Structure 1
Amino acid sequence: MKHATQQRGWKAVPGGVWALGFVSMLMDISSEMIHALLPIYMVTVLGTSALSVGFIEGIAEAVASITKVFSGAVSDRLGKRKILAVCGYGLGALTKPVFPLAGTLGWLVGARFVDRIGKGIRGAPRDALVADITPAELRGAAFGLRQTLDTIGAFLGPLLAIGLMWLTADSFQSVFWIAVIPAFLAVFVLIVYVKDPAPGSLKKDPKKVLKWRDLVKLGSDYWWVAGVGGVFALARFSEAFLILRAEAVGIEIMWTPIVLVLMSLAFSVSAYPAGALSDRINRISVLGIGLTLLIAADVVIALVPGLTGLLVGVVLWGLHMGFTQGLFAALIADCAPTELRGTAFGMFNLLTGIALFIASVVAGLLWDVVGFQGTFLVGAGFAVLTAVGLVALKRKTSL
């Protein structure tokens, strides 16, 4: 029966997962239309340094990750995921009009932080909801499908930004205003088409709060996955540095989002096949492929000069994300107790978010002091360290 279910592939993935994927896609279109231009806007228009960009991007993601801990735990206590997802996506949509209205860096930073709080509120409950409504034998495919749809949005957003920058003669504010529309469409789709699991299918205790014993209950397999994921995040600094590299090699401002288009295209075409493959073979082996791709991406961008090195490296970067992002989520779902899935996803995102903050600050510092080569070669070094962690993960756990 399991084999038959797997043979149906993406058609067997529940409709709720498809709906959540479309919600993520619409919000990513909105976010990436803004974020594809924001680093260049901050550096060229507002005069921000690479270190400041790294600090802003890193702290924004850390804020999102800290929020995920509490939203995941709350969703476990309530036995409901959708309401928190609606709050998170709604908050993200409400921040979008601030970007075209902001006249100073302070307003942009504030909007970026609040937007990431929204991401933090929705992230863990959404991933837990995917796990709740998907059969165990299809989790890799389900997370891969959701990641693919999400990444299609990350592909279309920068592409729309390029076209709109051309149509509006490089008017950042006009592009930011148009980005408001898909954000509110995402909230509409979520409210209308996504449902919580049947009442009573999840345990709830509204009086209970997050306690240390809950973290112990997550088990040693979970903590091994979380630890390796944290080291991996140190190798994955913000994609803002890919955009800055595009500007540095001489790509015109209007065309700099093309790096995110290529990255997201590679990400989207690889995420579902990688997830489905992990349902058939060991997930850790598939993660090893992803790490190899990341090391190659960093080395190519650092050592191959000019536009060729950048474009090849960006495609490899996107492929590495397809082979890793959904896989870590599937591993968390595999080893976390059902009643603590929200907490598990939240804690995992906290650890990786803190690591991503450190990685982005270090990347910005290296960029300013040593140059872009230092940023990407140090990233490759952390990826090698993660590969060592994968070997230990395979030996020490039952995954």
Structure 2
Amino acid sequence: MKIINRTVLILSLVSMFADIASEMLYPVVPVYLKEIGFSVFLIGILEGIAEFTAGLSKGYFGKRSDERGLRLPFIKNGYFFSAVSKPMMAMSSFPIWIFLARTIDRLGKGLRTAARDAMLSDNATPETKARVFGFHRGMDTLGAFIGPVIALSFLHFFPLQYKPLFYWAFLPGLISVSLIFLLKEIPKPASSLKRGNFFSFFKYWKIAGPEYKKLVVGLLLFALFNSSDVFLLLKTKEVTGSDTTTILAYIFYNLVYAIAAYPIGILADKLGMKKIFLSGLLLFAVVYFLFGQGHSSFFLFIAFFLYALYAAATEGIGKAWITNLSHGTNTATAIGFYTSCQSICSLLASSIAGLLWSLFGSTAVFLITSVITVCIVGYFILIPRTPKGFT
């Protein structure tokens, strides 16, 4: 079986163009929000609510995808929602409208994520999943590299002109939606879970295996203290005082991440996902310590380099690990359950981080997170090895 087949390649290109659209705006959004009057605390609430919306919808739509045995309708609609949300951000600076636009974008992510990851899982074997998910994350992050380059080039010629970027970001979003029509799928057996209300995907916990539960508990403990990347960008702007340097740091991070994701996926398939994942968490703890102590651009660029390696060692590999521990007909539900709970934790994490920043400054946010992450690594190390799955 070819590891990177046609479906995996097209899904990766779809994600790349969607991320070009999103990441043209991501490093600009916190700066733009502050320009139109949002406080750091309100930005934290906005990001938390947006992720909370995405998370709950991931669980619901993941279960619906399993119930119907279909992935593509959810993927198409999800990417379309995210595309149309981009110009909405520039149409009005009224806080409720900004919240609505950001929520529609995250709802699109909720629609597509579990179904897309389940389709990636369907096109891999347990022995190749880290590579497949690593390749997808690498292509996705390549878009996250290209997007800020476009944003930086635009702002170089048109300083402080943020709003036009939101309209230009609509174009790569439409390309990503168009590419999905090149995919075909054969309906799969329906989920063994019974239909229910919006929150019925939480019932997956009852039938999930012990290895899945141990993994998800550890991942959620981490998510509870892992606030939005917006705070890293705000810290960079605080230290450097430069929008250009802030965007350059984010571009650098995405370039390293894009290059490292697939090779690290290969290592995870060979050495075991748990070893690589925990190495990533330790890097995260170092990064947040550096951000807490950083007072120069050079220091922060080192932190962003390590942060890219952390992301490459955890984000795709974590998804691959979950799919290896899920039931075959409930893969999207298993992913959706985790990501829903993760987003609830993200709401708390981003809101708490915003409040701590406002009360005690940025150093407290980063150092507390660093210490707690080391404790979470200890949790994973203390989990006993089992004959199958948790490696």
Where 2:351 maps in the other structure, the secondary structure is helix
- Structure 2: 5+ residue stretches without partners: none
In structure 2, what is the equivalent of residue 19 of structure 1?
10
Q: Would you say the 8 A contact 1:301–1:310 is kept in 2? A: yes
Asked if structure 2 preserves the Cα contact closer than 8 Å seen for 1:28 and 1:157, the reply is yes
Find the counterpart in structure 2 of residue 195 from structure 1.
184
* Alpha-carbon offset, residue 194 of structure 1: 2.2
- Partner of 1:28 in structure 2? 19
Q: How does 1:344-355 map to 2 (within 5 A)?
A: 344-355=334-345
TM-aligned CA distance change 1:390 to 1:223, over 3 Å? same
CA contact (8 A) 1:302 1:377 kept: yes
One-letter amino acid of the counterpart of residue 13, structure 2: F
Shift of the 307–220 alpha-carbon distance from structure 1 to 2, 3 Å rule, reads: same
Deviates more, 1:170-179 or 1:75-84: 170-179
Q: Structure 1 residue 39 and structure 2 residue 26: aligned? A: no
- CA 1:335 to 1:205, structure 2 compared with 1: closer, same or farther past 3 Å? closer
Instruction: Classify the secondary structure of the residue corresponding to 1:96.
Output: helix
Give, in whole Å, the separation in 2 of the partners of 1:106 and 1:211: 29
**2:174 — aligned with what?**
184
| Aligned counterparts, 1:1-399, within 5 A | 12-43=3-34, 45-191=35-181, 193-196=182-185, 198-199=186-187, 201-203=188-190, 208-209=195-196, 210=200, 214-395=204-385, 398=388, 399=390
Native 8 Å contact 1:226 1:351 kept in 2: no
**d(CA) in 1 for partners of 2:59 and 2:191?**
17
* One-letter amino acid of the counterpart of residue 280, structure 1: K
Gaps of 5+ in 1: 6-10
Query: What SS is found at the alignment partner of 2:128?
Result: helix
Aligned-pair CA distance for 1:105: 2.6
Output one character per residue of 1:15-62: Cα deviation in whole Å (capped at 9) or x when no partner: 10111111111111111111211101111x122221111111111111
Letter in 1 for 2:15: S
Question: Over the residues paired in the alignment, what is the CA RMSD in angstroms?
Answer: 1.8
Tell me by how many angstroms 1:339 deviates: 0.4
Distance change >3 Å, CA 373–CA 130, structure 1 → 2: same
> SS of the counterpart of 1:97?
helix
Output the CA distance in 1 between the equivalents of 2:175 and 2:295: 41
When residues 73 and 165 of structure 1 are mapped into structure 2, their CA distance, relative to the original with a 3 A threshold, is same
Secondary structure of the 1:118 match is helix
Q: 1:77·1:208 contact (CA, 8 Å) conserved in 2?
A: yes
**1:212: how far off?**
6.1
Cα pair distance change 1:309/1:235, threshold 3 Å: farther
User: Which digits, 9 at most, give the CA deviation of each residue in 1:339-362, with x for residues without a partner?
Assistant: 010110000101111112211111
Deviates most, 100-109 or 182-191:
100-109
In 1, Cα distance between the equivalents of 2:361 and 2:250?
A: 21
- Distance of 2:86 and 2:93 partners within structure 1: 14
Cα contact 2:138–2:258 (8 A) shared by 1 = yes
Q: TM-score, normalised by structure 2?
A: 0.94
Distance change in 2, residues 1:351/1:396 (3 Å): farther
Question: Quick check: 2:208–2:326 contact (8 Å CA) kept in 1?
Answer: yes
| Structure 1 residue ranges (4+ consecutive) displaced by more than 4 angstroms after TM superposition | 204-207
What residue identity is the alignment partner of 1:195?
A: K
Number of residue pairs matched?
386
TM-aligned CA deviation for residue 382 of structure 1 = 2.3
Deviation for aligned residue 1:207: 7.4
Q: Residue 8 of structure 1 aligns with which residue? A: none
Change (3 A) 1:341 1:393: farther
Deviation at 1:110, TM superposition (A): 1.1
Residues 49 and 188 (structure 1), Cα distance of their counterparts in 2 relative to 1, 3 Å cut: same
Contact map agreement 1:134 1:142 (CA 8 A) in 2? yes
Q: Aligned letter for 1:202?
A: P
Distance 1:348 1:213, change over 3 A: closer
Q: Is the 8 A contact 2:22 2:169 kept in 1?
A: yes
How far does residue 12 in structure 1 lie from its aligned partner after superposition?
2.6
Moved more, 99-108 or 168-177: 99-108
Greater shift, 290-299 or 230-239, is seen at 230-239
Instruction: Give the whole-Å Cα distance in 1 for the aligned partners of 2:204 and 2:80.
Output: 29
CA distance in 2, matches of 1:307, 1:149: 27
